[in-house]
Amino acid sequence: MVVRYILKVGGPDTIVCNSTGCLEVFSTPYPRTSWKVPWIHAAFENSAAVASGVDRALRAKGVRDKWNVVAIGGDGGSFDIGFGAISGMLERGHKVLYVCYDNEAYMNTGIQRSGATPKFASTTTTPAGKVIPGKQEFHKPLPFIVAAHGAYVATANVAFPHDFMAKVKKAFAFDGPSYIQVFSPCPTGWRHPTELTIEIAKLAFNTNIFPLFEIENGIFKLNRKPAKQLPVEEYLQRQGRFKHLKEEHFAEIQKHVDAEWQKLLKLDESGLKLF
Ligand SMILES: Cc1ncc(C[n+]2csc(CCOP(=O)(O)OP(=O)(O)O)c2C)c(N)n1
């Protein structure tokens, strides 16, 4: 879904640099490919560096305006191992859109925790049991870390395709680096039926677990607010990775989500230029 929406906006004149991960694996089973646009398989950690090189090469050839350049990586490839390459791409000011499809763990290699995995999620490296109730840390605030570099930043969600595509359009038009983090449930890793994917993605929005916002010219803007905020249990209880959670865990997550949401509301109202 993420790729379909990006390419609906970008069209055939789009060059894709793809980090190692689920997307690369399932879209290129040797000797076939699902891609009908120029596509480069980067290593796990360096799609942002490869895309930076593509940007420079197109400039050298005098054809930069003809192409959209997008780097795509999972959250492991973006939050953790590829973070240095992303930071370099942003700091050098390349005209590249980096899209992180955020399925909240290293899924391709069997559901290991990443810096994007939410607190208390059970993964193979943070297994819920007698010792710990799943991952012990909250996730890394990557959109803000990216925004501090001066890039155009947005969050998106596969359940809101028009919002996502409008942000992709804006990013491709922006003369500099941009970053979109798109919420993308993984039925295998989150242990929910595939047909609940969009329902779960909508619940992440309606519980304020994954807010939709932009940071443009350093100014934070909430794009939409849930008509009625739902309790986090509604989202968490539908997924096997959270099935061990007790009342106290729900309460801790709710408290954290509410505090974060209050912060975002204040930022939104302030109109403050953060970066
Ligand atoms: C340097 C390096 N370390 C480890 C791996 C093994 N590896 C390949 S894909 C992957 C996980 C990818 O996770 P993520 O970026 O979150 O994408 P997803 O699989 O969830 O789509 C790992 C650990 C690798 N290819 N290269």
Task: Give per-residue pLDDT as tens, 134-186.
Answer: 999 999 999 999 999 999 999 999 999 999 999 999 999 999 999 999 999 99
Interacting residues of 257 by C-beta distance below 8 A, sequence separation 6+: 207, 208, 209, 232
Q: What is the DSSP string of 61-104?
A: TT-GGG-EEEEEEEHIIIIITTHHHHHHHHHHT---EEEEEE-S
In a domain, 142, yes or no: yes
In a domain, 115, yes or no: yes
Q: Which pLDDT belongs to residue 21?
A: 97
CATH number, residue 28? 3.40.50.970
In a domain, 215, yes or no: yes
Q: Residue 221 Cα, ligand 1 centroid: separation in angstroms? A: 32
In a domain, 22, yes or no: yes
Q: Which pLDDT belongs to residue 39?
A: 98
User: In terms of pTM, does the model score above 0.95?
Assistant: yes
Residue ranges, the chain, pLDDT below 50:
none
Ligand 1 pocket mutation pick from 20, 158, 190 by most atoms within 8 angstroms of CB: 20
In a domain, 120, yes or no: yes
Ligand 1 proximal residues by C-beta, below 6 Å: 20-23, 44-45, 73-77, 103, 106-109, 114
Q: Which pLDDT belongs to residue 25?
A: 95
Q: Which pLDDT belongs to residue 59?
A: 98
Q: Which pLDDT belongs to residue 60?
A: 98
Give me the number of domains the chain comprises.
Answer: 1
Q: Residue 54 Cα, ligand 1 centroid: separation in angstroms? A: 22
Domain boundaries, position 96: 2-270
Q: Which pLDDT belongs to residue 125?
A: 98
Whether the bond into 31 is cis, omega within 30 of 0:
yes
Cβ atoms of 167 and 156 within 8 Å: the answer is: yes
In a domain, 101, yes or no: yes
In a domain, 275, yes or no: no
In a domain, 146, yes or no: yes
Q: Residue 157 phi/psi, 5° resolution?
A: -150, 135
